[in-house]
């Protein structure tokens, strides 16, 4: 069932998936975002945003430029302060904690723009992703698993990351986040600036990582494709959740396709 958010009641917990999402029983919730607001000085970027991330699912936050998608991920990662509401990880409030504490909880972000170190080699970038991994002994296994998933990175492991193509850099950003052995992967605009064929490939990889058991929060402007692989979608508009529900229902709704998916 799709949930239209009543903007006048933004700030209530109405918008959460509770009772809407299949398999979202309390015990299987990894993240719960409740009434979250974020301000940048006088600018309010998020206004009472609520949604849940159930274990093993892909939830996608979609919306136009400036809707607040990146801000939501940065709030979860501890990179911006939450001015209202709360973010819970397995029932513990984690809002306004330091980013390193969030990473230690195995919530790892692959940031918009990828944030990789262009002057370091592919392998050195991957090493950096492993600093907070709880099991250091698993480093080699994780590295090999990463290379199995991204054979291009293996071929180029000693090359500077700056010499990689845009798609390869995106793969590196995802592989680096996976080196932290995350329980939750936060992906910010993985399709940004890539050619359609590469975008397709990146979405296939994200889907595969999820099939292997990873819980994923995916931020995308590319709403149609993101909803195509996600279990649930949350539509943001100027900092508010305007609609959320199962992706297939969002995709099937004429109103949604016209208003939010650019059709
Ligand atoms: P995009 O896809 O363009 O990144 P977005 O949905 O991720 O868009 P945000 O980057 O979260 O949106 O921005 C939400 C709002 O907050 C926008 O109005 C933006 O201008 C504002 N904003 C973002 N970062 C800052 C900042 N550091 N200082 C002031 N305002 C900011």
pLDDT of residue 24: 43
**For ligand 1, is residue 111 a contact (CB within 6 Å)?**
no
**Structure confidence at residue 15 as a pLDDT band (50, 70, 90):** very low
pLDDT in tens, 66-112: 899 999 999 999 999 999 999 999 999 999 999 989 988 999 888 77
Average pLDDT score over residue span 195-203: 87
pLDDT of residue 73: 95
Say which range, 49-58, 113-122, 125-134, has the weakest mean pLDDT: 125-134
pLDDT in tens, 219-263: 998 888 999 999 999 999 999 999 999 999 999 988 777 777 766
pLDDT of residue 238: 92
**pLDDT at residue 185 greater than cutoff 90:** yes
Q: Nearest Cα to 103, choosing from 193, 158, 169, 176?
A: 176
Atom of ligand 1 nearest to the CA of 221: 2
Task: Reduce the DSSP state of residue 156 to 3 states and report it.
Answer: coil
pLDDT of residue 262: 67
Q: Alpha-carbon distance 147 to 153, whole Å? A: 6
**For ligand 1, is residue 66 a contact (CB within 6 Å)?**
yes
pLDDT in tens, 41-58: 999 999 999 999 999 999
pLDDT of residue 16: 32
Burial 21-45 (b: 16+ CB within 10 A, else e): beebeeeebbbbbbbbbbbeeeeeb
Read off φ and ψ for residue 36, nearest 5 degrees: -75, 130
Q: Alpha-carbon distance 122 to 150, whole Å? A: 12
Q: Nearest Cα to 217, choosing from 61, 103, 18?
A: 61
**pLDDT at residue 63 greater than cutoff 70:** yes
- Ligand 1 centroid to Cα of residue 79, in Å, is 13
pLDDT of residue 5: 67
pLDDT of residue 90: 92
**pLDDT at residue 128 greater than cutoff 90:** no
pLDDT of residue 258: 77
**pLDDT at residue 21 greater than cutoff 50:** no
- Ligand 1 centroid to Cα of residue 89, in Å, is 24
pLDDT of residue 10: 36
Helix segments in the chain, DSSP class H: 69-76, 99-104, 122-129, 139-149, 151-155, 166-179, 196-211, 223-229, 247-252, 254-260
Domains and CATH numbers, the chain: 1-105+219-263 (3.40.50.300)
Task: Reduce the DSSP state of residue 85 to 3 states and report it.
Answer: strand
**For ligand 1, is residue 68 a contact (CB within 6 Å)?**
yes
- Ligand 1 centroid to Cα of residue 36, in Å, is 15
Measuring from atom 17 of ligand 1, which residue has the nearest CA?
66
**For ligand 1, is residue 197 a contact (CB within 6 Å)?**
no
pLDDT in tens, 134-150: 676 778 888 888 888 88
**Greatest CA separation for the chain:** 54
């Amino acid at each position: 069932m799709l949930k239209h958010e009543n903007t006048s009641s933004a700030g209530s917990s109405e918008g959460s998936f509770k009772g809407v999402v299949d398999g979202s029983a309390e015990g299987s919730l990894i993240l719960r975002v409740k009434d979250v607001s974020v301000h940048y000085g006088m600018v309010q970027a998020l206004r009472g945003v609520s949604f849940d991330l159930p274990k093993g699912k892909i939830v996608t936050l979609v919306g136009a430029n400036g809707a607040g998608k990146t801000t939501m991920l940065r709030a979860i990662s501890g990179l911006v302060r939450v001015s209202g509401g709360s973010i819970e990880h397995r029932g513990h409030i984690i809002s306004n904690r330091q980013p390193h504490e969030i990473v230690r909880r195995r919530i790892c972000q692959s940031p918009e723009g990828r944030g990789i170190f262009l002057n370091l080699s592919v392998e050195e970038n991957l090493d950096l992703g492993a600093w907070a991994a709880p099991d250091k002994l698993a480093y080699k296994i994780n590295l090999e698993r990463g290379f199995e998933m991204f054979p291009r990175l293996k071929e180029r492991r000693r090359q500077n990351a700056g010499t990689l193509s845009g798609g390869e850099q995106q793969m590196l950003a995802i592989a680096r986040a996976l080196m932290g052995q995350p329980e939750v992967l936060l992906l910010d605009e993985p399709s940004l600036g890539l050619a359609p064929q590469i975008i397709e490939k990146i979405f296939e990889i994200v889907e595969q990582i999820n099939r292997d058991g990873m819980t994923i929060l995916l931020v995308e402007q590319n709403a149609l494709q993101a909803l195509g692989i996600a279990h649930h979608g949350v539509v943001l508009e100027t900092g508010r959740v305007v609609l959320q529900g199962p992706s297939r229902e969002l995709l099937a709704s004429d109103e949604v396709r016209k208003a939010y998916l650019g059709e």
